[in-house]
Chains A and B, each alone.
Chain A
């Protein structure tokens, strides 16, 4: 072995050299680099977790927003419906009022016409009575008792009215 270079003290030196190098490299090199790598991995993991949380929160918020929009739409439709019903009620009321006014106007007009007609009929009857008496006086050449004959004429006219109505 000595020919190959085996040497106890050198072996011990190499053992010490390597052990010391192992410790120093671990303290000076590997440990700091691994610490930095761990820290970086931790941050990346944290960022990933945070992104996950934000995504979940965003999905939740989106859901809430959708719900709010849905509620608002429903509420809006209810308001529109209420407004429509109110408008309908107002329209019906106005229509009813207008109809009542028109009916009242027509009734008044009809009453007026009736009254005018009654006046005209009375006028005509009166004139017709006078005319009939005058005509009869001319036929009989004497004066007639006006009051007496008037009753007769009235009766005749009434009968003629009745006949007229029956004829219709």
Chain B
């Protein structure tokens, strides 16, 4: 069988599968009658507890109890973390400068060097070493949490109750508001910490700009104060923008995949899986990249208006 025939057979199979999916999916069922192949997807923004007792309590309270519990997103996040640690642990075992890098070590080295170059390009050579671990961990954590949800059957695992699907066992952590918020808080802490550590008390000068006003330039002074207030606000607004950008993108991606699978099962979802791979990468890069940019801005000495700029 020639390669051309193989491709032709594969193409025909995909078309047949698409047609089949269309007929048995929600659209086909609405057109031709019958019930859809998949049950109507339910979107739950809050994560769901993994254990039965916690789930029961949450169901009664109509919200998560105010205590620690293992949710499906936390479990997913832990799995993603373990995978990352495992990859780096096994990939960097017995490494030395004499041996030629190969296999997993080579792959990890490629990733580390790429991220290192990125940080160097943004923050400059002198700051790369101290910013790199935060940037790299943030990027890999967001990326792994986004991609882990694309593993086939990952989100199909769950618990049944009385014949219907009750809750998922695993759900990508990016779809849990708490995960992006935690990362945004960490980003905020590091930005302020490095800003203060590098510039000292003068770091706060960009928020409290009274120089021009004290020198009698009232109009300019008022504008400076206003700009300072905006700067201060933007530091906190970043928390929200960071959080909801990632949360929104990840949640929207999940809903998109759920809906495409519901409307036309099987083949139709494939392009969207590809799209979600790209979205996961871009979001990881944006989150880590913006943190890096904000840190770099924070450590850059600023000049007040009275200096003639």
Chain A positions within 8 Å of B, measured between CB atoms, are 1-15, 17-22, 24-26, 28-30, 32-34, 36-37, 39-40, 43
Contact = CB atoms under 8 A, between A and B. Distances in A.
Given A7-B46, A7-B64, A17 B112 contact: no
Given A5-B46, A11-B181, A43-B97, A18 B92 contact: no
B141 A18 contact: yes
Given A11-B181, A21-B85, A21-B137, A28 B92 contact: yes
A11 B97 CA distance: 40
Nearest to B61: A2
For the residues of A in contact with B, the DSSP-based class is: helix
B92, B108, B109, B134 interface centre (most CB from chain A within 10 Å): B92
A4 B88 contact: no
Dominant secondary structure of chain B at its interface with chain A? helix
Contacts of A15: 182, 185-186
B178 interface: yes
Contacts of B8: none
B68 A3 contact: no
Contact of B95 (A11, A13, A25, A32): A32
25 contacts: A1-B177, A4-B247, A5-B176, A6-B178, A9-B66, A9-B67, A10-B47, A10-B178, A13-B74, A17-B81, A18-B182, A21-B84, A22-B134, A25-B88, A28-B85, A30-B88, A30-B132, A32-B95, A33-B92, A34-B132, A36-B95, A36-B109, A37-B113, A39-B97, A43-B97
Interface residues of B, number: 50
Contacts, number: 130
B153 interface: no
A30 B89 CA distance: 10
A168 to B, nearest CB: 116
B92 A32 contact: yes
Pairs A-B, 4 closest by C-beta atoms: A29-B88, A5-B46, A14-B182, A39-B97
A32 to B, nearest CB: 4
Contact of A28 (B46, B88, B141): B88
